Amino acid sequence: MLAEVRENFDVKNLTSFKIGGKISKVYFPKSVDEFEEILSCEKNVKVFGNLSNTLVSTDGYDGVVIITSKMNNYLWTEDSSYFWAEAGCKGPMLARMTENAGLSGFEFMIGFPGSLGGNIFMNASAHGQCISDKLISVKCYSKEKGVFELSKDEMQFGYRSSICQKEDIYVLGAEFELGKKSSEEIKMKMEENLAFRKAHQPSLSLPNCGSVFRNPEGNSAGRLLDEVGAKSFTSGGVKVWENHANFIVNSNQTGTSTDVLELMLKMFSSVKEKFEIELIPEVRYLGNNNIREVELCKTLNIR
């Protein structure tokens, strides 16, 4: 096997929450061929990108994981608006690259810590832009079909959703047709996006996993959580961010995964009790060694 592999790998420092224990086996493929080879040899594999939207159990995970962060090749021909990138490419890198090329469509990713694959998986959006807006097709993998391609329509994009959340389909890369604008216009838009993020979201230096819950249709999770007093909620070493009630921060890096899930349950239950609305988590979970955490994930409907 050619792909890099680590056993009993301590994943904590790779996660944006700075929480997590040891994973039995982690692969870091650098190509589609290596990715296919791993899945031909391993069973019950879980695939992640940059672990920016994932809570990894402090008690670790007894299983096999693929992290696609090293699948980060891209292809663009000068004077062309077509852009191809692999799943492991980070959003801010793609935003800066396309800025320099005078290509518009990725400005919203400038402040995202996640990878392209993760952004496609959840149909990431912000500031009036969405990953699916300029998308043409996605190269995918499933155990039944191997490597295959899905069009934008076949991806079944919705708010924070795609076919990848409904079926065992993994994103390997995608092709986009971007718009053409001056680099100055694109840079200005990205600076606006960064300023908004700085004012409304915790910085990446303050360990967090982004928005904790999706916005209910026609409503705001942050507003609902604010109205139940969530900004004062704490659990062990983590707390709700004082400037926005839909963020949990591990400010002193002393929090555990159980702390996070218990705090999520308190947030979820408070909104449900007052508004009869069940918030849907955006956070993904990886772990199987802690019974309480498994129970919490079932209650919160975290995958």
| Catalytic hit among 34, 99, 282, 293 | 282
| Catalytic hit among 160, 214, 251, 269 | 160
292 included as an active-site residue: no
| Residue (of 176, 70, 72, 158) closest to 121 by Cα position | 158
| Residue (of 196, 210, 198) closest to 160 by Cα position | 210
| Catalytic hit among 57, 132, 162, 211 | 211
Cα of first residue to Cα of last residue in the chain, in angstroms, is 30
Residues 6 or more apart in contact with residue 170 via CB below 8 angstroms: 35, 47, 87, 117, 140, 141, 142, 164
Counting Cβ atoms within 10 Å, is residue 84 exposed (0-12), middle (13-18) or buried (19+)? middle
211 included as an active-site residue: yes
CA-to-CA distance for 223 and 147, rounded, in angstroms?
42
What CA–CA distances, in Å, run from 209 to 41, 87, 199, 283, 285?
32, 19, 17, 7, 11
282 included as an active-site residue: yes
CA-to-CA distance for 208 and 268, rounded, in angstroms?
18
- The catalytic residue positions are 160, 211, 282
